[in-house]
Chain A
Amino acid sequence: MKLKNKWPKYYKKDVVTHYCPGCGHGIVHRLVAELMEELDVGKRAICVNPAGCAVLAYKYFDIDMLESAHGRGTAMATGIKRARPDLFVFTYQGDGDLSAIGTAETIHSANRGEHISVIFINNAVYGMTGGQMAPTTLLGMKTTTTPSGRNPGYDGYPLHITDVVATFPGVIYAERVAVDGPAGIQKTKRAIRNAFQTQIDGLGYSIVEVLSACPTNWKMTPAQSFKWITEVMTTEFPLGVLADRRKKG
Chain B
Amino acid sequence: MADMTEKATKKGRVVVKIEMCKGCNLCIEYCKRKVLRSSEELNSMGYHPAEPDEQMQCNACMLCALVCPELAIEVYDE
Contact = CB atoms under 8 A, between A and B. Distances in A.
Interface string B19-51: 110111110011000000000000001010000
A182 B66 contact: yes
Contacts of B77: 1-2, 4
Interface residues of A, number: 30
A19 B69 contact: yes
B78 interface: yes
Contacts of A4: 60, 62, 65, 75-77
A11 B70 CA distance: 11
Nearest to A20: B22
A226 B70 CA distance: 16
Contacts of A25: 69
Given A4-B60, A24-B69, A26-B69, 15 more contacts: A1-B77, A3-B74, A4-B62, A4-B75, A4-B77, A5-B65, A7-B71, A16-B19, A16-B20, A16-B70, A20-B22, A21-B23, A185-B66, A223-B25, A226-B26
Interface of B: 13, 17, 19-20, 22-26, 29-30, 45, 47, 60, 62-63, 65-71, 73-78
Please provide the 10 A-B residue pairs with the shortest distance between their CB atoms, ordered closest to farther.
Answer: A26-B69, A22-B24, A1-B76, A21-B24, A21-B22, A222-B24, A223-B29, A4-B75, A5-B65, A27-B69
Interface of A: 1-5, 7-8, 11, 14, 16-17, 19-27, 30, 181-182, 185-186, 215, 221-223, 226
